[in-house]
């Protein structure tokens, strides 16, 4: 296990802080959410700014995480105590507040705990309340908004930074990421092209892979994901910083119909990032796609023991249900619902997962529709229209669902789930020829559908023959 490079802790009474690198690649964005490149140190007019600010990270990948697993969490917690004590002694210490925010951000990437990101937000807000024009904290705030799925807020924050200084590449990355999540594919492409021209490397290549997948260019998505891994390896990245690129390649492989390749990528990720709940859950998904249900169940259990994420819990529940274990399935489903209702921020972050879970398991269908349409009001991307379409169908509004599904497919994304949903909706409106075509396309992307959706898609296809 690669040990986390922990911050050098300040002596309790010292007021001046030595330069440190808080955590290797600690400023990465969670899934889907991305980070980028070296940024020059910001200047601040406040007298306290004569102290050294948190160093900016080197070029890092879209979802890189700190290395070290539980050891990394312990190191972060140890550092948090020191910086929190500093801030308690001096409520105007905006540097300590920024370090605290950075550490909680890093902690969240290891734990998957939304509460860590919320605590990071609180700390960065405190830093900006002390020094509103502190650029490092402004950039961190924009990324945290992206992480917590406030994409309009993230975009506005990033654009405000860029208006003052167009050379802040991390803000440009956040703006591009937010645009992609909001359905502005052209705007995202322009931002990523600008990034590639200014700072080529794995972080940008990974973004281009995601963009290619959204645009339906699946072969390009696969090759770009491979290239991002190669670039990260050549750059000497290690641990979670490197492992994330293997995870990206694995997710791209399974989404494009190559579960065997995906499993190899997830194994490669775990070689350098052994405690990654993302890579472990990816491994379980690939095992399930390959028909290795017992292995998948055991692997999902490992991922959930590290970080109980709704997707993994629902997938584990479905595997239990498919093998006839209703009690264990119900336990997983209950946990998904509990997470969704635990806090308002959970509902925001897990919006689409909760919508699809509710529809797929016939729970709270009117609430699912309300949740989907609330999200779609501000986030008009392919997956927003898809979630809306699926919820509309479940609520007996097949014609409206067909319109929403058509808008989802208009993005050109070759995602088996979008195709499956559109096929079921086409069947519901009586267009069986279109339904057969769409369902056939979904099933042809080998292993891309989860086992429950795949079984239902195949049943519908058989009924239409």
Distance, in Å, from the CA atom of 422 to the CA atom of 439, rounded to the nearest integer, reads: 8
Give the domain extent around 114.
Answer: 1-164
Predicted pLDDT at 63: 60
**Predicted confidence band of residue 38 (pLDDT cuts 50, 70, 90):** very low
Predicted pLDDT at 21: 33
Predicted pLDDT at 68: 55
Q: Evaluate whether residue 302 is within a structural domain.
A: no
**Predicted confidence band of residue 62 (pLDDT cuts 50, 70, 90):** low
CATH of the domain at 72: 1.25.40.10
Mean pLDDT to the nearest integer, 246-275: 97
Q: Evaluate whether residue 306 is within a structural domain.
A: no
With a CB cutoff of 8 Å and minimum separation 6, the contacts of 7 are: 20, 21, 22, 23, 79, 99, 103
Q: Evaluate whether residue 282 is within a structural domain.
A: no
Predicted pLDDT at 72: 81
**Residue 200's closest CA among 55, 57, 37?**
37
Look up tokens 């509710």; give the residue: 358
164, 183, 212 - which closes a domain? 164
Residue 3 has pLDDT above 50, yes or no: no
H or E element that contains 439 = helix 432-444
Q: Count how many domains the chain has.
A: 2
Distance, in Å, from the CA atom of 61 to the CA atom of 273, rounded to the nearest integer, reads: 14
164, 179, 211 - which closes a domain? 164
Mean pLDDT of all residues belonging to the chain: 87
110, 130, 164 - which closes a domain? 164
Say if CB 272 and CB 2 are below 8 A apart. yes
Report helix, strand and coil shares of the chain as percent, to nearest 5: 70, 0, 30
Residue 29 has pLDDT above 50, yes or no: no
Q: Evaluate whether residue 275 is within a structural domain.
A: no
Q: Evaluate whether residue 107 is within a structural domain.
A: yes
Predicted pLDDT at 73: 87
Mean pLDDT to the nearest integer, 429-434: 98
Predicted pLDDT at 290: 98
pTM of structure: 0.85
Of the chain, the percentage scoring pLDDT greater than 90 comes to 80
């Amino acid at each position: 296990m690669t040990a986390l490079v922990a911050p050098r802790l300040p002596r309790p009474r010292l007021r001046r802080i030595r330069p440190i690198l808080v955590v290797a690649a600690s400023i990465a964005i969670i899934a889907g959410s991305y980070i980028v490149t070296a940024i020059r140190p910001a200047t601040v007019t406040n007298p306290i700014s004569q102290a050294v600010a948190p160093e900016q990270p080197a070029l890092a990948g879209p979802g890189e995480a700190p290395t070290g697993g539980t050891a990394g969490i312990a190191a972060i917690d140890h550092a948090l105590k020191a910086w929190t004590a500093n801030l308690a002694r001096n409520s105007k210490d905006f540097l300590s507040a920024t370090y605290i925010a950075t550490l909680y951000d890093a902690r969240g990437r290891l734990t998957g705990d939304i509460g860590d990101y919320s605590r990071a937000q609180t700390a960065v807000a405190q830093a900006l309340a002390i020094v509103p024009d502190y650029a490092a904290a402004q950039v961190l705030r924009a990324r945290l908004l992206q992480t917590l799925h406030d994409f309009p807020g993230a975009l506005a924050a990033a654009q405000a930074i860029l208006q003052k200084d167009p050379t802040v590449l991390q803000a440009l990355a956040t703006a591009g990421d937010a645009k992609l999540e909001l359905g502005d594919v052209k705007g995202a492409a322009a931002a990523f092209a600008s990034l590639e021209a200014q700072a080529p490397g794995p972080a940008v290549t990974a973004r281009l892979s995601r963009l290619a997948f959204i645009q339906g260019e699946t072969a390009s998505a696969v090759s770009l994901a491979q290239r991002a891994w190669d670039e990260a390896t050549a750059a000497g990245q290690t641990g979670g910083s490197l492992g994330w690129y293997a995870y990206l390649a694995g997710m791209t492989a399974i989404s494009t119909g190559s579960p065997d390749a995906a499993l190899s990528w997830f194994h490669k990720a775990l070689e350098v990032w052994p405690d990654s709940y993302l890579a472990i859950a990816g491994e379980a998904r690939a095992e399930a796609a390959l028909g290795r249900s017992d292995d998948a169940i055991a692997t999902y259990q490992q991922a959930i023991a590290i970080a109980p994420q709704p997707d993994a819990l629902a997938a584990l529940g479905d595997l239990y249900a498919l093998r006839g274990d209703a009690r264990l399935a119900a336990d997983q489903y209950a946990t998904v619902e509990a997470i969704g209702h635990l806090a308002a921020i959970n509902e925001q972050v897990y919006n689409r997962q909760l919508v699809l879970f509710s529809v797929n398991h016939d729970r709270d269908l009117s609430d699912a529709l309300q949740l989907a349409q609330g999200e779609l009001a501000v986030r008009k991307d392919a997956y927003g229209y898809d979630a809306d379409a699926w919820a509309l169908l479940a609520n007996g509004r097949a014609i409206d669902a067909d319109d929403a599904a058509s808008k989802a497919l208009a993005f050109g994304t070759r995602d088996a789930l979008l195709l499956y949903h559109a096929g079921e909706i086409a069947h519901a409106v009586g267009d069986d020829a279109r339904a057969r075509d769409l369902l056939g396309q979904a099933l042809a992307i080998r292993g891309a559908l989860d086992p429950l959706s795949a079984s239902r898609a195949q049943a519908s296809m058989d009924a239409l023959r």
